[in-house]
Amino acid sequence: MKKAVPVIIAVALIFVIVAITLGVKVAEHYSYSEERMDLNGYFGLEAADEAALVLNDEIREEKGIVRDGRCYLDLGTVHAFLNDRFYADYNEGWLLYTTPDEILYAQAGQTGQDGYVPAFLEDGVMYVALDYVKKYTNFSYTLYTEPNRAVLTTVWDEHQAADMKKDTAVRYQGGIKSDILTEVSAGDQVTVLETMENWSRVATQDGFIGYVENRRLKNLRSETLIPVTDYQEPEYTSVRREHKISLGWHQVTSEAANSTLSEVLEGVSGMNVISPTWFFLSDNEGGFVSIASSAYVQEAHDRGLEVWALVDNFTYDVDIREILSHTGRRQKLIGGLVEEALSLGVDGINVDFEQVPEDAGEDYIEFLRELSIPCRANGLVLSVDNYVPRNYNSHYHWKEQGTVADYVIVMGYDEHYGGSQETGSVASIGYVEEGISTMVQYVPAEKVINAVPFYTRIWETGAEGVKSQAVGMTTAEDFLAQRGIEPVWDEETCQNYAEFEEDGAFFQVWLENEQSLQAKLQVMEQYGIGGVAAWKLGYEAGHPEVWAVISDFAAG
């Protein structure tokens, strides 16, 4: 018996050890982890001055920079999420904000009137203080530290909210073994982003997005945040007409050519605006050449026509980005254009800047914002010419044009153009409708003008490839009549079409005439746009029927 006692004790000890071990394992299995998440890693912070961006309960990849206790975002992020009207001049070191009647200047790196630096440049990037953005934008934000994070709200939609029943940990994932992100106290409110069987994904008010157990939540409810309305957006008024615009471009290539006004107006009816090509950017410093004539303006006015003087960037060899990316050069150009327009007594300025490169898109729209200020103040109509809107020219910023300009013109032609290796219509009905239907998604319909061609291209395909020439309506018809070719109406393009072979070459012509223009005008009527324009006066000579259909549209 004495010999058995040690054995019994040993066995008992083994059972106790096993029981303790099992108990510990069971306890470990059901106990809550106390491990804490590396918060810099969680927020993706790599530098001490970086700040995470938590926007509308989502942790973004974009980061801010903390300087002197304030959070700064790069201008691209500001444009994407907060306000795209800020403009950076990287040449002169300005951050600009343009309103309907003034330009607000902040010098990068210098303390502003509010006692802090509104913006600074670093490694070629403009950073803007959230406090400065908030002066002109409605959003809420709070900057937290340890780690740095800016929590922003820009959307005020309905969301699910709940209160915490008791103090608890918010975990990185749903599960008691997941690392702890932060703690919330009893009574704290969280936003419920997603509800699962036992856990809910929540956002805390200080920018953490993680998981808590459902049993820790109470008072689940729908709430709508009260929108921030601290900034009152100024109204962009327009210098617009109550009637439809019927505009004809008059190509003037020299001062002497101003004398052709009476000639190009012969047989014209139903037109209320003439736009002579008068101003040409001539250097990269903001200079331009003017071949305008005050006598021309007077004669046009006597005929009941408004004059919208056109300025272009392609007559002389200039770098449009070099001009528009410098604030001083933009202001020189704008000041000169407005001074010339007022001295001539014209009624408006028509901007025809073509092939603006993508990297000059922000400079271009800032030019239009700034030009709109003196135009608005002096009653000058500001109109802007655009290609048919496509993805590749979206940097022309059509929506902002529709805000700052009085009329946005779609040049609804050159579907197939000089130099094109594919033959086709200059302006098929589908192409025209595409341009209008897309533009009215960005610009109010009453501000949109669609431009039609008065010209036709005669296409020739031969041994040397494809070539074409642009001709007026009568020249195109004579070209076919001399060969005894009768065009046939093509429903797909809504144009009269002809083709034939001659001297080993294949010719094709899609005619523009009163029939094709009537079809285009019907589309314009359907979309309720603000008018029609035509390139160019003289190409329709001999076709008074063209003006009859345009007159009917303009009077409608």
Strands 168-171 and 140-144: unpaired
Contacts of 458 by beta carbon, 8 Å cutoff, 6+ apart: 468, 469, 471, 476, 479, 507, 509
Q: Evaluate the CA torsion angle 331, 332, 335, 336 in order and state its sign.
A: negative
Buried-state track 237-268, b at ≥16 Cβ within 10 A, e below 16: ebbebeebbbbbbbbbeeeebbebbeebbeeb
Helix, strand, or coil (residue 399): helix
Helices then strands, counting H and E runs in the chain, come out as: 14, 31
Q: State the burial class of residue 493 (Cβ atoms within 10 Å of its Cβ: 0-12, 13-18, 19+).
A: buried
For residue 299, what is the enclosing H or E element?
Answer: helix 294-302
495-502 β-sheet, strand order: 465-472, 455-462, 505-511, 495-502, 488-490
Helix, strand, or coil (residue 433): helix
Q: What is the DSSP string of 380-393?
A: -EEEEEEESP-GGG
Return d(Cα 91, Cα 2) in angstroms, integer. Answer: 100
Return d(Cα 4, Cα 10) in angstroms, integer. Answer: 10
Q: What are phi and psi for residue 160, nearest 5 degrees?
A: -95, 130
Contact 159, 196 (CB under 8 A): no
Return d(Cα 209, Cα 203) in angstroms, integer. Answer: 4
pLDDT digits (tens, 9 = 90+) for 182-237: 999 999 999 999 999 999 999 999 999 999 999 999 999 999 999 999 999 999 99
Return d(Cα 45, Cα 293) in angstroms, integer. Answer: 63
Return d(Cα 155, Cα 138) in angstroms, integer. Answer: 10
* Partner residues linked to 36 by β-bridges: 180
Average per-residue pLDDT in the chain?
Answer: 95
Among candidates 208, 231, 74, 88, which has minimal Cα distance to 142?
208
Task: Please report the pLDDT score of residue 556 as a whole number.
Answer: 86
For residue 213, what is the enclosing H or E element?
Answer: strand 209-213
Q: What is the pTM of this model?
A: 0.93
Q: Give the relative orientation of helices 294-302 and 327-344 as an angle to the nearest 10 degrees.
A: 50
Residue 288 tokens read as: 């331009």
Q: Extract the residue ranges of the chain whose pLDDT is less than 50.
A: 22, 24, 26-27
Helix, strand, or coil (residue 521): helix
Among candidates 320, 139, 100, which has minimal Cα distance to 227?
139
Return d(Cα 252, Cα 31) in angstroms, integer. Answer: 86
Return d(Cα 48, Cα 162) in angstroms, integer. Answer: 34
Among candidates 284, 369, 267, which has minimal Cα distance to 318?
284
Contact 158, 19 (CB under 8 A): no
DSSP state of 435: H
Contacts of 192 by beta carbon, 8 Å cutoff, 6+ apart: 159, 160, 161, 162, 200, 201, 202, 217, 220
Tokens 């993680």 belong to: 210
Q: What are phi and psi for residue 147, nearest 5 degrees?
A: -90, 170
Q: What are phi and psi for residue 82, nearest 5 degrees?
A: -125, -60
Strands 217-224 and 94-98: unpaired
Strands 455-462 and 168-171: unpaired
Contact 283, 320 (CB under 8 A): no
Return d(Cα 335, Cα 354) in angstroms, integer. Answer: 21
Contacts of 375 by beta carbon, 8 Å cutoff, 6+ apart: 239, 338, 348, 349, 381, 382, 406
Among candidates 110, 113, 119, which has minimal Cα distance to 65?
119
